[in-house]
Amino acid sequence: MKNLFAFLTAIIFLIVLFTACEHTPPDAITTAGTGTGGTGTGGTGTGTATPVCFEADVLPIFISNCAKSNCHDAGGHQDGYVLDSYANILHDGIVPYRATNSKIYKVLFETGNDKMPPAGNLDLTAAQKAIIGKWINEGAKNTVNCGTGCDTTQFRFAANISPILTTNCLGCHAGAVPSAGINLSNYFGVKQQVTNGRLYGAITHTAGYSPMPKNGTKLSDCQITQIKKWIDAGALNN
């Protein structure tokens, strides 16, 4: 009897151990008010139930973090995935209304070789993962021209400028080896690109500068105006 009790205790312990080690994405994302509905603030969330806008909130995350050269762009198509447009993103790995059954969502929570973005790249923020999950659970719809709550009178670094860069730039310009050696993950790296003129030249697609976001659509007029006003005001760390 004692041996049987010890055996059953060991089995229960192993079940609890392996269950605790699983990396499963959260279920409670349909109620998370993470979408901006196209506010142009970088998709950081508004705390409301506003539907997620694919064009403004979701696609920039995929373009910046996934559709990079030799990854999930048209040239690299790693593992057969191209994640540079609505049609390609929906082609495989997305189950509308079921985020936790969608491979593209689940790999955001994996570890080791199965994790995406892979090691050496900046991990998506909790808010970005929630945006993607909420969008899928809302039906993974191709919502565009969603209307904008972007406010050009608001141009503080922490509240307005940094979220734009997080969504549209950090997939390339952050991590262990940022593209072109340009790190935009902190104020001082951003300020350096303001000082040398490359930030504004890139986002306005000015001749002589590499147009950014790479492989993505140009930032909205409102977003560019916010950045321009911030720069003109001294590019403060505010």
Reading the chain (238 residues) residue by residue, the pLDDT tens digits are 555 555 555 555 444 444 444 455 554 343 333 444 444 433 334 345 789 999 999 999 998 888 665 566 555 555 567 788 899 999 989 999 999 999 999 999 988 877 788 777 788 899 999 999 999 999 999 998 886 678 999 999 999 999 999 999 998 898 888 888 999 999 999 999 999 999 999 999 999 999 999 878 899 999 999 999 999 999 999 9
Residue 176 counted as domain residue? yes
Residue 41 counted as domain residue? no
Can you tell me whether residue 138 is helix, strand or coil? coil
Residue 43 and residue 29 in contact, taking contact as beta carbons nearer than 8 Å:
no
Domain that holds residue 219: 157-232
For residue 26, give Cα distances in angstroms to 79, 130, 158.
25, 9, 27
The pTM of the full predicted model, rounded to 2 decimals, is: 0.72
Tokens of 201: 């030249």
Residue 174 counted as domain residue? yes
Residue 123 pLDDT: 87
Residue 183 counted as domain residue? yes
Residue 77 pLDDT: 52
Residue 181 counted as domain residue? yes
Residue 219 counted as domain residue? yes
User: 107: Cβ–Cβ under 8 A, 6 or more apart, which residues?
Assistant: 114, 115, 116
Residue with tokens 């995935």: 81
Residue 212 counted as domain residue? yes
Give me the number of domains the chain comprises: 1
Residue 223 counted as domain residue? yes
